Amino acid sequence: MIAMLASLTAQAALAVTLPEPRRDSGVSLERTLAERRTVREFGPAALCLAELAQLAWAAQGVIAPSGRRTAPSAGALYPLEVYILAANVRDLAPGVYRYQPSLHRLAAVAEGDRRGELAEAAWGQRWIAQAPVILVIAAVERRTTGKYGQRGVRYAHMEAGHAAQNALLQAAALDLDAALVGAFTDSEVQAALGLPRDARPLYLVPVGRPR
């Protein structure tokens, strides 16, 4: 019993509750569509925890008591997992975190700044290591293939596109720069970030301040 309580306490200590997301910033959708650009250079300034919270919520946040999320999902099965490599975020220790949409919080996965390893897994794209935050959108495909068979893989990939675009538009609304990366070796990304074997990485989304 004592060991169990100690384990639960340790797990709670590894969870980071995020600031509540804004639902109306006064920035129009049309403006974010017009201003979104792919940028592969980032300034050295840190992001704040509220900005990180907003990005995670935009990608996969809960928007209704039923559990519906910001991105549509075939059959409302939600195969996506958003992992966050936080290297330079105020009030957050460097490490890899998994976003928990229902609780709007981060659960620690691995410690330390792993941008170098991730850049190598992304076929040596060193610019990735400049970003203070990298969102990793992964899919647990069995959540959709269990209902839709092999076509469920396609649905999961479509959903990753929805979530990634949400994150890009949110970055634009926050006056942040961002890019999408699809060139990487799946197994090496999983190893670099300590991801589960069934979480297949589909997108990397580096985000940072303008240079």
Domain carrying residue 151: 26-208
Q: For the domain that residue 144 is a member of, what is the CATH number?
A: 3.40.109.10
In a domain, 72, yes or no: yes
Residue 64 lies in a domain: yes
Q: Is residue 14 part of a domain?
A: no
Q: Is 102 contained in some domain?
A: yes
Query: Percent of the chain beyond pLDDT 90?
Result: 93
The answer to whether position 151 is within a domain reads yes
Q: Fill in the amino acid letter for 78.
A: Y
Is this structure's pTM higher than 0.85?
Answer: yes
Q: Judge whether 125 lies within some domain.
A: yes
Structure confidence by residue, pLDDT tens digits, 92-143: 999 999 999 999 999 999 999 999 999 999 999 999 999 999 999 999 999 9
pLDDT higher than threshold 70 for residue 84: yes
pLDDT digits (tens, 9 = 90+) for 6-64: 333 344 458 999 999 999 999 999 999 999 999 999 999 999 999 999 999 999 999 99
> In the chain, how many domains are there?
1
Q: What is the mean pLDDT of the chain?
A: 94
pLDDT tens per residue, range 140-176: 999 999 999 999 999 999 999 999 999 999 999 999 9
* Contacts of 71 by beta carbon, 8 Å cutoff, 6+ apart: 59, 60, 80, 159, 162, 163, 166
Residue spans of alpha helices (H) in the chain:
2-13, 29-35, 49-60, 115-121, 142-148, 151-173, 186-193
Q: What phi and psi, each to the nearest 5 degrees, are found at residue 185?
A: -95, 115
Q: Is residue 17 part of a domain?
A: no
13 occurs within a structural domain: no
